Amino acid sequence: MHSVVSIIYVNYNTSGLIINSIISLQDQCRDIPFEIIIIDNSSSDKEKEILLSRFPDEENVKIILSVTNLGFAKANNLGAFHSTGKYLFFLNPDTLILNDVLKTFYNFLETCDQKIVACGGNLLNPDLSPTSSYGNFPGILLELCNIGLGLSILLNGYYKKHVAISCKVSDELKRIVPYIVGADLFIRSESFNSIHGFDENYFMYYEETDLFLRLKKSGLESHLLPNAKIIHYEGGAIGKSDAKNFNYGKFEILLKSKMYYYKKWHSKSASFIKAIILLQILVQYAKGKWGNDLRKLVSIYRKSIR
């Protein structure tokens, strides 16, 4: 049967998570034909064996083994290259599908205006409380708020509506959104290819933000569909970072991607943004929120702004 949707996972030592996610997909999504493409980013031999032994001969599951870790953007582009579906569904390993999201997304894009090319669902924590599903495009005001001196509280509703990059869904109303969190990105294959997919200069983080900004600049829209429910174990694929166990590796990858994004889209204010981010580091370190090694933080910052 021809696949209407190509579901693309990127695996890096998350085989158990992907298997659970696929099981939830197969249980919940039975009406829309789909194929699954897994790009393994040079996982350990044990992790690859878990994956390969679980799907030895399923026709609709393709596993592509990369000898190097390509990163998120490049690996997803590789998955798209090997896809056959009219639609692409980029899905994180750390997700569980709670209802027939494929049918919801497919029916919406099949019947809406052609300028609407992408959609995403309502991402939930394991306790079914809402977590980040969409966001606004980053800019100077966001970075000023991220210093940690209370500006976001002062801006209150304006911050949540127009500045925040981590927005939760609190109702069942469909809405136009600037960008959809990359954990569940459903997009017309033709539209994805027309803007040449993800920018492969991003190893991880900000690649979906960049993609949606390019879609917007092309006059295209993205919508959030709250009735599509997906659990997202945020941080399950790379690990969480908190005050006690600060993840310096994650911080470095994120900061490098952030600085590339600003150089690309805010070149005139890039120097000012660099200064703001340095101030963020100093303030958040002083507050005890960003680890306990200031030299390491500053070293990462210096490498990221080059």
| pLDDT per residue as tens digits for the range 141-159 | 999 999 999 999 999 899 9
pLDDT computed for residue 234 by the predictor: 81
Give the model's confidence band at 240: pLDDT under 50 very low, under 70 low, under 90 confident, else very high.
low
Average pLDDT, the chain: 94
pLDDT computed for residue 236 by the predictor: 59
Mean pLDDT of 225-237: 88
Q: 82-120, pLDDT tens digit by residue?
A: 999 999 999 999 999 999 999 999 999 999 999 999 999
Produce one character per residue of 41-61: b if its CB has 16 or more CB atoms within 10 Å, e if not: bbbeeebbebbeebbeeeeeb
pLDDT computed for residue 239 by the predictor: 57
CA angle (23 as vertex; 28, 229 as ends), nearest 5: 45
Please enumerate in sequence order all residues whose Cβ is within 8 A of that of 129, keeping only pairs 6 or more positions apart, or say none: none
* Domain ranges (residues) in the chain: 5-133+168-232, 138-166+241-306
Mean pLDDT of 31-37: 96
Note whether 18 and 25 are within 8 A (CB).
Answer: no
Mean pLDDT of 200-216: 97
The amino acid that residue 82 corresponds to is: H
Concatenating the DSSP letter of every residue in 168-189 gives: ---SS--EE-SEE-TTEEEEEH
Give the model's confidence band at 245: pLDDT under 50 very low, under 70 low, under 90 confident, else very high.
confident
Please enumerate in sequence order all residues whose Cβ is within 8 A of that of 67, keeping only pairs 6 or more positions apart, or say none: 42
Give the model's confidence band at 306: pLDDT under 50 very low, under 70 low, under 90 confident, else very high.
confident
Concatenating the DSSP letter of every residue in the chain gives: ---SEEEEEEESS-HHHHHHHHHHHHHH--SS-EEEEEEEES--HHHHHHHHHHSSS-TTEEEEEESS---HHHHHHHHHHT---SEEEEE-TTEEE-S-HHHHHHHHHHHS-TTEEEEEEEEE-TTS-B---EEPPP-HHHHHHTTSSSHHHHHTHHIIIII-S-B---SS--EE-SEE-TTEEEEEHHHHHHTTSS-TT-SSSSHHHHHHHHHHHTT-EEEEEEEEEEEE-TTTTT----SSS--HHHHHHHHHHHHHHHHHH-GGGHHHHHHHHHHHHHHHHHTT-S-S-HHHHHHHHHHHT-
Architecture of domain 5-133+168-232: Alpha-Beta Complex (3.90)
Tokens of 43: 């996982």
What percent of the chain shows pLDDT beyond 70? 96
**Does residue 218 have a pLDDT over 70?**
yes
Q: 37-81, pLDDT tens digit by residue?
A: 999 999 999 999 999 999 887 778 999 999 999 999 999 999 999
